[in-house]
């Protein structure tokens, strides 16, 4: 087989296809509470996992695994671990920020019909991985790309997704029997929603605003901020 026989023309998308991609990007939201109890059909779930599995990965090592959690019993145990870490997190903020933090509804673990823990096996592919020879974090970055693929596919399916990052890893590993050498990259909540915030929830609730893009683009070299 010659190299040219496995190549295909790099045709741009049609306008409708292109608009759909950008719509998924711009309307994607981190859903924390608005999940419906409607089950996700297995074929839809498989499409989402296929989208994740088709993410770019350094050295084509595909370091991810997907742990699907559906039972209420397990989700309750995980919520308790989250709740403990969330209280620790709240104590790190002061004054109005702590009050705002506590007012955020973070009920996805118990409300979303599907929870998904995505891990990174940093040993997959051997000791020396093409593209990871100088930046050893590239496998973790690849796993994050899988999560982003899944998030955009979920948006296209009308499924909300929330990324829960407030855990003590040892607690989650113990509950899910994750080996010590496997790294947890994302804990996700997935479920249908009937409405989404028109802007990121944290922006809508006054936590932070989106930074102006023009302030984040430098040309040729890093441009330090000018003190005010």
CA distance linking residue 217 with residue 195, whole number of Å: 33
Query: Kind of pairing, strands 114-121 and 159-164?
Result: unpaired
- pTM score of the predicted model: 0.93
Q: Looking at the domain covering 54-193, what would its CATH class be?
A: alpha beta
Q: b/e string for 165-182 if b means 16 or more Cβ within 10 A?
A: ebbeeebbbebbebeeeb
Residue pair 190/160 in contact by the 8 Å Cβ criterion: yes
- DSSP assignment, residue 5? G
Question: How large is the average pLDDT for residues 23-47?
Answer: 96
CA distance linking residue 188 with residue 174, whole number of Å: 17
Per-residue pLDDT tens over the stretch 146-178 = 999 999 999 999 999 999 999 999 999 999 999
Residue 6 pLDDT: 87
Structure confidence at residue 4 as a pLDDT band (50, 70, 90): low
Per-residue pLDDT tens over the stretch 53-100 = 999 999 999 999 999 999 999 999 999 999 999 999 999 999 988 888
Instruction: Report the candidate in 15, 45, 56 with the shortest Cα–Cα distance to residue 148.
Output: 56
């Amino acid at each position: 087989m010659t190299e040219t026989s496995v190549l295909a023309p790099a045709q741009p998308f049609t306008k409708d296809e292109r608009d759909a991609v950008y719509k998924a990007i711009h309307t994607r939201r981190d859903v924390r509470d608005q999940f419906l109890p409607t089950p996700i059909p297995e074929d839809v779930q498989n499409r989402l996992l296929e989208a994740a599995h088709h993410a770019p990965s350094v050295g084509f090592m595909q370091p991810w695994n997907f742990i699907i959690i559906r039972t209420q019993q397990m989700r309750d145990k995980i919520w308790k671990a989250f709740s403990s870490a969330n209280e620790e997190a709240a104590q790190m903020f002061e004054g109005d920020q702590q009050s705002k933090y506590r007012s955020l509804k973070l009920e996805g673990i118990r409300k979303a019909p599907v929870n998904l823990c995505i891990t990174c096996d940093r040993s997959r592919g051997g000791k020396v991985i093409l593209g990871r020879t100088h930046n050893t974090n590239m496998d973790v970055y690849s796993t994050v790309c899988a999560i982003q693929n899944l998030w955009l596919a979920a948006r296209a399916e009308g499924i909300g997704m929330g990324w829960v990052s407030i855990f003590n890893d040892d607690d989650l590993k113990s509950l899910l029997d994750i080996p010590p050498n496997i790294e947890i990259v994302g804990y996700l909540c997935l479920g249908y929603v009937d409405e989404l915030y028109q802007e990121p929830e944290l922006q809508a609730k006054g936590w932070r605003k989106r930074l102006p893009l023009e302030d984040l683009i430098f040309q040729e070299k890093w441009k330090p901020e000018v003190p005010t």
